[in-house]
Structure 1
Amino acid sequence: KERYVLAERLGARGEIIRFRGLDHGTGSLEPVPVVIVRSPFTPPAETVPAAEEVPAASAESTVAPDAPAQAEAPSVEAVPVEPPWPSSAWERALLEKVSHSSLPRVLDQFTQDGFEYLVEELPIGQVLWDAWDDPQASAEQRFGWLKQIAGALHHLHQGGAILEGLRPDIVVVVNGEHARLTDLADLLPLPLPPNPPIRATHYTAPELVLNSDLATARSDLYSFGAMLFALHLGRELTELDFEMQGVPKSIYQRFPDIHPLFGRLVSKTFCRELSQRLPTEDAAGEDATGFAELIRTLETCRRTLDQARLDIASWTTTGMVRTGNEDAFALLHATDARENGLNEAALVLLADGMGGYEAGEVAAAMAIRAMRQYLAQQRPFAPLAEDAQPAQPEAQAEPMAPAPDRELWKQHVVAALREANQKVFEASRDAGRHNMGCTAEVVYAAGRDLIVGHVGDSRTYHLQAGNLVQMTRDQTWVNRMVEIGAFTPEEAEQHPRRNELQQAIGGHPEVEPAVYEASLKPGDWVIVCSDGLTNHLPPDTIKEILQSSASAEAAARRLINLTNLAGATDNATVVAIRAT
């Protein structure tokens, strides 16, 4: 056809040659890239009757006059013969049978000059290598792409085919959402014919090379696992990645701290022995290929691999000047696991009392108690308090974080701060301590989510990718002057009214908490602290300590000790969270 132009030759298997081509017949201004498969034309085989035909009676046959008339011979439906492999006709029949959104669509087919041509869609997108390495890509996206490719392979199996060499370079991600295969040159039929041509790359299952009679759909598990391992390495596989041909080195030995779920996924696919691959015993009855179990495992990875594990430590000090400690805090940290899903969350409550030692101590403790009791009654936070009686009993039967809902969490955090304000305000009036109050921080970390509620001038910091950000805004008079340009930050630090709060817990009948949110990633730090610490340690010092600390405990101790070393004119409290 004149509309197609053959361009770069992509590869060949026997007499089947694949080309990158251009389609000039779509009506668009520019020709559209396609894949063109060329093979020698073979006339279609004749159809085979589904059942033997009943011969018709001959002219010489005689029938007795009283005999009943013979029933008409049953109609016979012909069954078409499957096109031979390898051929473009075989590939076309397969793709039309197993249509899947991650497989190329058949656009055209024709014969010309003794050749048969098959024109396939060529998806355009970002090669999987690059999409996977994108720092902005999440596990939800990455394993969603892999799940789509696994589904396409599962469809091929149902059509009687496998893909010998699944590699990152033959997968593209379209619009950041949809993973698609671009090259089907390694398609093989099942069962394999005698002595099939095998490419025998590092992505080829060893049974295809050593004993092709053992080839099944599970051979694609090996290829899938090889691609996973290559993506984790960030490069093509080489001989250095194998103990010997077809025997991969253990991912656990090479990466002892690999995410256990990902390590299991690779180990149950990228292994020489068929018996060690998916499916596991219980899942084999459902799907002997192992791909149904693979797809479920990829879904679990998609939901959980980005969830940060939390290393948490807390310390408080009276300081070097004060007699008593008016700071108060509570740290609630819980983990649960159900059906391969692991959930972890932490709730930090911090209050810095004011109004004199007795009043400040009482206000801070009362605020912590009120916030803790309120949040323990709310469904998202109930699992953090074992002794709580949730307002909705059914919450006890649900996972700790069934579905992230930032807006709901923020509403509860704001309500908790308002509840604390009401309790402290009422108590201050009853006890005649009209200057009793406190600051308050409520920090909730769960999975990839970080929610912060704030009243006063205690602070929450977030360190991510080397950048330390003060999430909260100091609700002080001098900070407001800095914001409107009346003071410089340096002038504010020395101003006599620098500790004057615009609002505090218990100061007025109503309070308007500020609420902030961020995404939490492995490698991040979160610091929740009272102003007794930040009065002595500038942000650069805090950042340096976090980046040089191997654990949350080490960071928290160093921050408190440095505060005391600097004179610690006030109580100081810190909660350090390291996401891993």
Structure 2
Amino acid sequence: MHIAFHAQSHKGLVRQLNEDACLAMPEAGVWAVADGMGGHAAGDVASQMVMDMLKTVVDNAGERISPALLQQALQDANQALVKYSKQQLLGTLAGSTVVVLLIQQQHYHLLWAGDSRCYLLRDNQLIQLSHDHSQVNEMVAQGLLAASEAETHELANVITRAVGVDTELEVAIRSAACRPGDLFLLCTDGLTKELPDHEIHQYLQHDDIADASKALLHSTLVAGAKDNVTSILVKLHNSNNINLNDKTIPLNLKIV
């Protein structure tokens, strides 16, 4: 199996600073996006610290990379951010959402905290693999709010879990089999707040993932891009069914 991917990040049309960050380590089968918490000090520092910690762990692990090691990297990033906030920001929080995708030997492993998302397009069906750690999502789950009202609710931007906010971080994890043709989208809420799922679905059906990725960004900018926008597309191919226009690498990683 081979992997094609495309990553991009844009500050949007309103924000002066890009507080998003992303990581693409295809040789290790690892991709991630992070969103520095809006309204908090040093959000750009927070998101980059999370990416740097993940990169260090992946580099050191080599073929021994595993979901457990990635989870520990996020815990270490959480402790580092809590310490940074206390020492450098006089206790003001610097936090970040995060979503991490690991692909190993026909399986995917997803780790996340916050409202950055991962979608899977399979058999022309778009599935949101992650669930938002947000106030409105909890209200929907409890039957207190209709799902159709969530995006426009006054608490829509209030997240309940993020790296660096509390001394203890609970990381959500999801694992399952993957197969050729699967297309994963990792993105910050700067994209999902502007584009509904049905529009995202439409663009992901494009055969060329670079064109699909650029179309997502363009439509987000057309919609106003009030926040930073970061996305990564990751597509799995059969080794004998590769688009030579895509940037692909062989997937031949060992499971630990």
Instruction: Answer yes or no: same fold by TM over 0.5.
Output: yes
Secondary structure, counterpart of 1:463 in structure 2? strand
How far has the Cα of 1:329 moved from its partner? 0.9
Confirm whether residue 491 of structure 1 aligns to residue 149 of structure 2: yes
Q: How does 1:482-561 map to 2 (within 5 A)?
A: 482-547=140-205, 549-561=206-218
Q: Which amino acid aligns with 2:32?
A: L
Residue 372 of structure 1, aligned match among 55, 73, 80:
55
**Distance in 2 (alpha carbons) for counterparts of 1:318 and 1:455:** 21
TM-score (norm 1): 0.40
The aligned counterpart of 1:27 is none
Cα distance per residue 1:73-125 (max 9 Å; x no partner) = xxxxxxxxxxxxxxxxxxxxxxxxxxxxxxxxxxxxxxxxxxxxxxxxxxxxx
1:424 is the counterpart of 2:81 = yes
Cα offset, 1:410, TM superposition: 2.4
The secondary structure found in structure 2 opposite 1:380 is: helix
| Partners of 2:12 and 2:68 in 1: CA distance | 35
Q: Read off the aligned partner of 1:498 and give its amino acid letter.
A: A
Distance 1:332 1:379, change over 3 A: closer
Partner of 1:319 in structure 2? 12
Q: CA offset at residue 358 of structure 1?
A: 5.4
Greater relative contact order (Cα 8 A, min sep 6): structure 1 or 2?
A: 2
Structure 2 CA distance for aligned equivalents of residues 485 and 357 of structure 1: 30
Alignment correspondent of 1:328? 21
Query: What is the CA distance between 1:356 and its match in structure 2?
Result: 3.9
Of 202, 220, 227, the residue aligned with 1:570 is: 227
Q: Radius of gyration: which is bigger?
A: 1
C-alpha distance in structure 2 between counterparts of 1:312 and 1:487, whole Å: 36
Distance change >3 Å, CA 446–CA 560, structure 1 → 2: same
Task: Give 1:475's aligned residue.
Answer: 133
Identity %: 32
- How many angstroms apart in 1 are the aligned matches of 2:200 and 2:91? 36
Q: CA deviation at 1:446?
A: 2.7
How far apart, in 2, do the equivalents of 1:321 and 1:362 lie?
19
SS in 1 for 2:26: strand
Q: Which aligned segments of 4 or more residues in structure 1 are displaced greater than 2 angstroms?
A: 355-358, 374-382
Residue 374 of structure 1 deviates from its aligned partner by 2.2
Q: Tell me which residue corresponds to 1:351.
A: 34
Amino acid at match of 1:555: A
CA distance in structure 2 between the aligned counterparts of 1:498 and 1:451, rounded to whole angstroms? 27
8 A Cα contact 2:82 2:165, kept in partner: yes
Q: Deviations along 1:116-163, whole A, 9 cap, x unmatched?
A: xxxxxxxxxxxxxxxxxxxxxxxxxxxxxxxxxxxxxxxxxxxxxxxx
Alpha-carbon distance in 2 for matches of 1:515, 1:413: 10
Task: Encode CA deviations 1:399-449: one digit per residue, 9 max, x unaligned.
Answer: xxxxxxxxxx22222212111111111111111252210001111123311
| Structure 2: distance between partners of 1:357 and 1:505 | 13
Q: What is the rounded CA distance, in whole Å, between the counterparts of 1:374 and 1:346 in structure 2?
A: 13
Structure 1 unpaired stretches of 5+ = 1-307, 335-344, 383-408
Write out aligned runs for 1:152-301 (5 A): none
Q: How does 1:377-388 map to 2 (within 5 A)?
A: 377-380=60-63
- Give the C-alpha shift of residue 347 in structure 1: 0.8
